[in-house]
Chain A
Amino acid sequence: MKSFQYATAQTIESAHELAGKKGAYLAGGNDLLGLMKEYLAEPDILVDIKSLPGLNTVQPGSEFWTIGANVTVAQIEDHADLSKTFPVLHQAATDVGSRQIRNVASLGGNLAQHSRCWYFRHRDIKCLKKWGTTCYARDGENQYHSLFTGNPCISPVVSNLSIALAALDARIIIQRDTETLRWSIADLYARAWDNPTAHNSLQPGDLILRVEIPHQDASWRGAYMQVSQKADFDWALASCAVAAQMDGAKIIAARVYLGSVAPVPYTVPAVTKGMAGKTLDAGLAAQVAQSLLADAEPLSQNAYKIPMTRALIQRTLLQLIA
């Protein structure tokens, strides 16, 4: 990797100042160090943010729960109250990588991780995402790629937690220069929808501080499921997160998001809004699955994701009444 300076920040202000526009924040390092080893990221300075105060706690609240950006995926997985309140988040955390990875992976890092597209990750391929001229995957090996996108790049979002947090309508708190931004998950990924070089909406120097999840009373239920080729330690071929306020089997409000099928956590608001007032059963689940995938644009090798995701959506929805 390219040589770099290393500093440990003690305050958010100093972290921000040290990183400047050409630095990178180091938390778990799972993604960043891999990018650096392949010369895909060449920061001048690595700013270790693991010691920043207040970023490594999970705090319940009457309005919303707060999870610091440095909380590890394993902590989310193991947190009994969090898991009970937001099973969708717990399940999504459990399916991240391996336990070794979850032990060091941070919430912030999981949300900000870059594309896993094998063309993007290849050291000798300059693809569209790396400011090249071609998306090689479009006419190439696209079995792991998107069914929906607003731009020529077809690399999907692979953050499990983003899919679950989207379903939970979470807010993400970001420090940008002197400003504190409060984004939805949709905001966090919006730029990746239509800009092939972006994988999220963050700019150089932006620091994710924490995530806020609106409190849910007992009428809310949630589920997350993913399909992977291997039984463990494998990326999702497709994932689905659902959170719904229910009255028995009747849906009051529902959010359904899909992962690994688009550059953003994917949903169709008209479809999910239409679920309100209906009774959740196998028929509705099949209908919702069909409608969510109606606009899918499969490529030469990823059409299998349509029946797979259809089955997945139905199963995830039916978990709510299981």
Chain B
Amino acid sequence: MPAWPDKPTQIGKRTLRVDGRAKVTGAAKYTSDVQPKGCLHGMILRSKWPAAKITGINLSKALQIPGVKAAVVVREGSRTVRYYGEELAAVAGLTRQACLDALRVIEVEATPLPFVVKEKEAKKTGAAAVWENSPNLSKPKVNEKGNPDKAFSEAAAVVEDFLSTPVQLHHALETHGNTVSWTDEGVIAWASTQGIFSVREGLAGNLNVEQSKVQVISEFMGGGFGAKFGPGVEGSLAARLSKMAGAPVRIMLTRFDEALAAGNRPSSFQRVKLGASADGKLTAFELDAYGTAGIGSGSSTEGGGGGAEFPAPYIYQVPNTRVQHSGVSVNAGSARAFRAPGHPQASFGMESMMDDLAVKLGIDPVEFRIQNDPSPVRRREYELGRERCGWKEKYRKPGSSTGIVKTGIGCAGASWGGGGGGTKAEAQINPDGSVEIRCGTQDLGTGTKTVIAIIAAEVFQLRPGQITASIGDTRYPPSGGSGGSTTCASVSPAVLDTCTRALQELQTQTGIPDARGSHWLEACKKLGVNPLVVSGQWVKGLSSSGVGGVQFAEVEVDTGTGVVRVKKVTCIQDCGLVMSPLTCESQVNGGIIMGMGYALFEERIMDSESGVVLNPNFETYKLPGIADVPEIDIVLLDMPERGVIGVGEPVTIPTASAIANAVANAIGIRVPNLPITPARVLAAVAKIKAA
């Protein structure tokens, strides 16, 4: 069985991305760059009704538009659409303008139906029914442990609040989309995806084509965050248009489309009650929560965990708990898995109450967490982190910061799985010494090719630049979807196993006892004409799961204007054996920036009257810009003995909670709703003034 080297020469080095040059020069071909011969543009007609009975769609005028080569309806016969933006039909043509013109002349017969787009309205009796046969509000799931009522009555301190988090949109910079060619020989799909094999399965099933005739390619992709596992309606439509037109068809969603029908993080509305003993031990917890996953209320979607539920009382163990969850349907696009599904919501509610309770008990919030957090890793991280960020000097009594612009500091913790498995790979060693590693994984943007090259270079004692990492093709040995922070922990052991076996085989075949490094060329030459191809797979013991992380946020709150600026985030993160600190830190940076967007800016805003998403663009769906990004200080706990663990998701979880706690520390009152907008800060400040 292979093992990670004790004294690595490549692993753990700050290796630049092997495909960095290709990406910045534009040489890297993404789905929207692929230009198979005769490729047509494709576009989707979407419902203009938030709810309607569709009784007919007439494509004939669309097909008469010059340049239009094909048009299809999503589903034959009458049907009900349940949100503004649901797919109705699609066209393919020589130009984008021909498609746009065609979409405008498609005739849709529809009878509008009542609709409801806001959680609070959808919950009410008499609200428009999103689904005919079930109420909008699902029956609550209740879990009770111990005796919470008794525990609350005996608690030395109890805090309670009603908190909320918004629907957040994934908005990967590359939108969803596929370029698909469907001929008699089969289907080739260039997909922007987190799971080439799940796209293959989805397309083969939807199109009724053997899986062996479907090839999915995703050499480069621009982010997914959990919303890009299957082919999507758009992938199947591109394939059907391709078959009809006899030409490849590309459908990339627009930014507008992304806000409607490409997934989101469910909202949460949480009544949280938390109690502790006088010595600061958590004794009682109660949660009554609901949220919306759009029309897909409460259920999981592809990629897992797309429902509105979340873990509670999150990372803490409380002896007496009552937890109640329900999902509420609204006429809006379905949720999908979104970077750490459920965790940011869970963290925000629980960590907010942890801080408020610590304040009420007169215990330092970091100390309070160290007393109650069951994870020894996180307890160690809190101790490290508070030294690192200067907590003792910076933490002051809430609201005691003087002046108009107040400063505050806050913290929060997170947990994630991130294990690996189910991956095969093959190494091809050529007589000229060149090496190709093939693996049917895909790179979400996390640096998978670089990780593969580092490991192969480590085993063969070569440089990462000498390794060709080939991924993103269903002709390669299979790997799983890139979800759950599992890619690095799945691919790395498989590549180590493959390369270790390949080296042994090379040495056996050539009789050279150590073919590595300076002997490499000599050994490869001895292969003769044919290359050596060796397979390997993921093996146990090289990766693990279960990580803890803590973050500290420092903010400035302008109490005159309500504007919050994050000055610094300190992140202490456990992630096992680090392949390259550069790619790992890049994950942390991205997670923190995304968490900051969740804290201060991001929210899908629906209009009750018309049922549309009002902010389907980056002008009004606000994302952090470079000027908003704080100083980010990262400490990766060095625990190589744990093997490889994914880090993509855990690092985005506690950021918003830490920022919210820092804001409460600055102004002396909690803003219980995300995002923390100037309006909400000013409302909170007014409460203090009125009191």
Task: Give the B-binding residues of A (Cβ under 8 A).
Answer: 1, 3, 116, 118-119, 122, 124-125, 134, 136, 139-141, 143-144, 227-235, 237, 301-302, 304, 307-308, 311-312, 314-315
Given A230-B622, A230-B627: A307 in contact with B682 (beta carbons within 8 A): yes
CB <8 Å contact, B601 and A136? no
The distance from the CB of B195 to the nearest CB of chain A, in whole angstroms, is 33
Bound together, the chains give a CA A304 to CA B48 distance in angstroms of: 33
Given A122-B612, A230-B624, A237-B678: A307 in contact with B686 (beta carbons within 8 A): yes
CB contact list, B555-583 vs A, under 8 A:
560-563, 565
The distance from the CB of B666 to the nearest CB of chain A, in whole angstroms, is 16
Contacts of B600 in A (CB 8 A): 229
Bound together, the chains give a CA A163 to CA B563 distance in angstroms of: 22
Contacts of A315 in B (CB 8 A): 560
Bound together, the chains give a CA A235 to CA B618 distance in angstroms of: 12
Given A3-B97, A141-B605: A229 in contact with B682 (beta carbons within 8 A): no
CB <8 Å contact, B610 and A230? no
CB <8 Å contact, A304 and B678? yes
Contacts of B608 in A (CB 8 A): 140
CB <8 Å contact, A125 and B627? no
The distance from the CB of B210 to the nearest CB of chain A, in whole angstroms, is 41
The distance from the CB of A102 to the nearest CB of chain B, in whole angstroms, is 15
Bound together, the chains give a CA A122 to CA B601 distance in angstroms of: 21
CB <8 Å contact, A231 and B612? no
24 A-B interface contacts by CB (under 8 A): A119-B607, A124-B610, A134-B609, A139-B609, A140-B607, A140-B609, A141-B607, A141-B614, A227-B561, A229-B563, A229-B622, A229-B678, A230-B601, A230-B627, A230-B628, A231-B625, A232-B625, A237-B678, A307-B686, A308-B562, A311-B404, A311-B560, A312-B561, A315-B560
The distance from the CB of B609 to the nearest CB of chain A, in whole angstroms, is 5
CB <8 Å contact, B562 and A304? yes
The distance from the CB of A290 to the nearest CB of chain B, in whole angstroms, is 14
Q: How large is the interface on B (under 10, 10 to 19, 20 to 34, 35 or more residues)?
A: 35 or more
CB <8 Å contact, A125 and B610? yes
Given A140-B608, A307-B686, A308-B682: A229 in contact with B677 (beta carbons within 8 A): yes
CB <8 Å contact, B560 and A304? no
Contacts of B614 in A (CB 8 A): 118-119, 122, 141
CB-contact partner of B627 in A143, A144, A232, A304, under 8 A: A232
Question: Closest residue to B613 on the A side, CB-wise?
Answer: A122
The distance from the CB of B594 to the nearest CB of chain A, in whole angstroms, is 15
Bound together, the chains give a CA A134 to CA B610 distance in angstroms of: 11
Is B80 on the interface with A (CB-CB < 8 A)?
Answer: no
Bound together, the chains give a CA A233 to CA B682 distance in angstroms of: 22
CB <8 Å contact, A233 and B627? yes
Contacts of B299 in A (CB 8 A): none
Contacts of A304 in B (CB 8 A): 562, 678-679, 682-683
Bound together, the chains give a CA A304 to CA B680 distance in angstroms of: 8
CB <8 Å contact, B686 and A230? no
Question: Closest residue to A126 on the B side, CB-wise?
Answer: B610
Given A136-B607, A308-B562: A227 in contact with B627 (beta carbons within 8 A): no
Bound together, the chains give a CA A1 to CA B103 distance in angstroms of: 12
Top 9 nearest A-B pairs by Cβ distance? A311-B560, A232-B627, A304-B679, A231-B627, A118-B614, A227-B561, A304-B682, A231-B628, A124-B48
Contacts of B561 in A (CB 8 A): 227, 308, 311-312
Is B461 on the interface with A (CB-CB < 8 A)?
Answer: no
Contacts of B686 in A (CB 8 A): 307
Contacts of A234 in B (CB 8 A): 622, 625
CB contact list, B589-618 vs A, under 8 A:
600-601, 605, 607-610, 612, 614-615
Question: Closest residue to A139 on the B side, CB-wise?
Answer: B609
Bound together, the chains give a CA A28 to CA B460 distance in angstroms of: 56
Among B612, B615, B677: residue with most chain A CB under 10 A: B612
CB <8 Å contact, A233 and B562? no
Contacts of A230 in B (CB 8 A): 601, 622, 624-625, 627-628
Contacts of B624 in A (CB 8 A): 230
Given A301-B679, A307-B686: A227 in contact with B610 (beta carbons within 8 A): no
Bound together, the chains give a CA A114 to CA B608 distance in angstroms of: 25
Q: Binary interface profile of B, 620-656, with partner A (CB < 8 Å = 1, else 0)?
A: 1010111110000000000000000000000000000
Among A116, A125, A308, A312: residue with most chain B CB under 10 A: A308
Question: Closest residue to A118 on the B side, CB-wise?
Answer: B614
Contacts of B100 in A (CB 8 A): 1
- Could you list 20 further interchain pairs (A-B, Cβ under 8 angstroms) beyond the known A233-B627, A237-B678? A116-B619, A118-B615, A119-B607, A119-B610, A140-B607, A141-B607, A143-B677, A227-B563, A228-B563, A229-B600, A230-B622, A230-B625, A230-B627, A231-B628, A232-B625, A232-B627, A304-B678, A304-B683, A307-B682, A308-B561
The distance from the CB of B333 to the nearest CB of chain A, in whole angstroms, is 15
The distance from the CB of B547 to the nearest CB of chain A, in whole angstroms, is 31
Bound together, the chains give a CA A308 to CA B600 distance in angstroms of: 17
The distance from the CB of B378 to the nearest CB of chain A, in whole angstroms, is 31
Q: Binary interface profile of B, 30-51, with partner A (CB < 8 Å = 1, else 0)?
A: 0000000000000000001000
Bound together, the chains give a CA A233 to CA B84 distance in angstroms of: 29
CB <8 Å contact, B610 and A136? yes
Bound together, the chains give a CA A139 to CA B600 distance in angstroms of: 25
The distance from the CB of A301 to the nearest CB of chain B, in whole angstroms, is 7
Bound together, the chains give a CA A278 to CA B180 distance in angstroms of: 73
Contacts of A233 in B (CB 8 A): 625, 627
Bound together, the chains give a CA A232 to CA B627 distance in angstroms of: 6
The distance from the CB of B290 to the nearest CB of chain A, in whole angstroms, is 22
The distance from the CB of A97 to the nearest CB of chain B, in whole angstroms, is 10
Bound together, the chains give a CA A141 to CA B562 distance in angstroms of: 19
Bound together, the chains give a CA A232 to CA B625 distance in angstroms of: 7
Contacts of B404 in A (CB 8 A): 311
Bound together, the chains give a CA A140 to CA B117 distance in angstroms of: 13
Contacts of A232 in B (CB 8 A): 625-628
CB-contact partner of B620 in A1, A118, A134, A308, under 8 A: A118
Contacts of B627 in A (CB 8 A): 230-233
Given A125-B612, A141-B614: A231 in contact with B565 (beta carbons within 8 A): yes
Bound together, the chains give a CA A301 to CA B615 distance in angstroms of: 16
CB <8 Å contact, A229 and B607? no
Question: Closest residue to A144 on the B side, CB-wise?
Answer: B620
Among A119, A144, A302, A314: residue with most chain B CB under 10 A: A119
CB contact list, B73-106 vs A, under 8 A:
84, 97, 100
The distance from the CB of B201 to the nearest CB of chain A, in whole angstroms, is 35
Q: Binary interface profile of B, 658-691, with partner A (CB < 8 Å = 1, else 0)?
A: 0000000000000000000111001101100000
Bound together, the chains give a CA A233 to CA B626 distance in angstroms of: 10
The distance from the CB of A96 to the nearest CB of chain B, in whole angstroms, is 14
Contacts of B563 in A (CB 8 A): 227-229
Bound together, the chains give a CA A314 to CA B622 distance in angstroms of: 27
Contacts of A140 in B (CB 8 A): 607-609
Contacts of A118 in B (CB 8 A): 605, 614-615, 620
Contacts of B565 in A (CB 8 A): 231
Bound together, the chains give a CA A118 to CA B609 distance in angstroms of: 13
Question: Closest residue to A127 on the B side, CB-wise?
Answer: B610
The distance from the CB of B431 to the nearest CB of chain A, in whole angstroms, is 51
Question: Closest residue to B628 on the A side, CB-wise?
Answer: A231
Question: Closest residue to B560 on the A side, CB-wise?
Answer: A311
Contacts of A228 in B (CB 8 A): 563
Bound together, the chains give a CA A143 to CA B615 distance in angstroms of: 12
Given A118-B620, A125-B610: A227 in contact with B678 (beta carbons within 8 A): yes
The distance from the CB of B508 to the nearest CB of chain A, in whole angstroms, is 59
The distance from the CB of A100 to the nearest CB of chain B, in whole angstroms, is 12
The distance from the CB of B46 to the nearest CB of chain A, in whole angstroms, is 10
Bound together, the chains give a CA A124 to CA B624 distance in angstroms of: 28
Contacts of B560 in A (CB 8 A): 307-308, 311-312, 314-315
Bound together, the chains give a CA A237 to CA B625 distance in angstroms of: 17
CB-contact partner of B612 in A3, A124, A134, A227, under 8 A: A124
CB-contact partner of B609 in A3, A136, A229, A302, under 8 A: A136
Contacts of A122 in B (CB 8 A): 610, 612, 614
Contacts of B562 in A (CB 8 A): 304, 307-308
